[in-house]
Amino acid sequence: MGKTDRDRTERSHDEQNSTVAIEFRDLVRSFGDIEAVRSVNLKIPHGQICGYLGPNGAGKTTTVKMATGMIAPTSGTALINGIDIVESPIQAKHMIGVVPETGALYESLTPIEYLALVGRLYHLERDAAIEKAGVFLRLFGIGDSSERIMTGFSRGMRQKVLISAALLHNPDILFLDEPLAGLDANTALVLKELLRELASQGKTIFYCSHVLDVVEKICDRVVILNRGEVVADGGVDELKEMTHRASLEDAFTQLTSEGDLDAIVKAFSESVTGKAHGVDNEK
């Protein structure tokens, strides 16, 4: 290959990487004999809010952990702006913010102390990190608790600190696993509008949730995972049309349910009331 051809190939590769924020190539993760994620292939461009859905145990959180460098894939590759998260974890992690499903905080610290620590990990100046953290906490309505030890914080207060930590270094890409957990209605509304604003600025959001009505409202694209495999990928309207269903919730149920919903509900109801066994619990 001549120099011109090599330059053209390199430019093409760079251009491709510049438009793709998150890429999974044949991503696999096994735990013993259990294959939690099976050959997932995705390309998510900059500026997209991508909903990543699936039943419990489908592999959503495992995917997030691989994409953010918390665990290594059994095989395959996760790329952040073209950078392999396994080969160059520090470089890749500087580009992402993460709100994990079960986030752990250093409870012996105050929110300001914790966020200052997070800021230093991302090489932010301490004073700048503290000032920015203070703004976030005030906007989230917990500014008056910024100097309190977090031991007694509610789940919602902890979640606000975790979201602040994910946003503190102004990352290009956000991985959010059940980000609305514990949040009050007003804060949830603020976060949803914030995500739309960040996406409009070119940031990419990988959004895992079981709250399908929220996903339907804010996500540009929805990927549905079942038993570790991608079973659907498209816009909300595309998935509705594909399944001939009126809502994302109904489409999701059709694509992932392993039994007749009405029959399952009836069986549960009969079991609760005792009528399934010929027992009448009413007196």
Predicted pLDDT of residue 259? 56
The pair phi, psi for residue 270, each rounded to 5°, is -65, -35
Question: What is the arithmetic mean of pLDDT over 146-154?
Answer: 93
Cα 198 to Cα 17, 141, 170, 174, 193: the distances in Å are 20, 20, 10, 10, 9
In this structure, the number of other CB atoms found within 10 A of the CB of residue 236 comes to 19
pLDDT attached to residue 197: 95
For 18-95+171-240, CATH number out of 3.40.50.1820, 3.40.50.150, 3.40.50.300, 3.40.640.10 equals 3.40.50.300
Q: In angstroms, rounded to a whole number, what is the distance separating the alpha carbons of residues 166 and 185? A: 20
CA distance 148 to 6: 58
Which residues, at least 6 apart from 17, have a Cβ–Cβ distance to it below 8 Å?
A: 81, 82
pLDDT (tens digit, 9 = 90+) per residue, 92-111? Answer: 999 999 999 877 788 899 99
Mean pLDDT, range 173-191, rounded to an integer: 93
Tell me the per-residue pLDDT of 241-282, one tens digit each, with 9 for 90 and over: 999 999 999 999 989 876 555 665 666 666 676 765 554 545
Q: Each residue of 100-143: pLDDT tens digit?
A: 987 778 889 999 999 999 999 999 999 999 999 999 999 999 99
Give per-residue pLDDT as tens, 189-244: 999 999 999 999 999 999 999 889 999 999 999 999 999 999 999 999 999 999 99
Q: Where in the chain is the domain with CATH 3.40.50.300?
A: 18-95+171-240
Helix or strand run (H / E) with residue 240:
helix 236-243
- Nearest-angstrom CA–CA distance, 34 and 279: 40
- The reported pTM is 0.85
pLDDT in tens, 35-79: 999 999 999 999 999 999 999 989 999 999 999 999 999 999 999
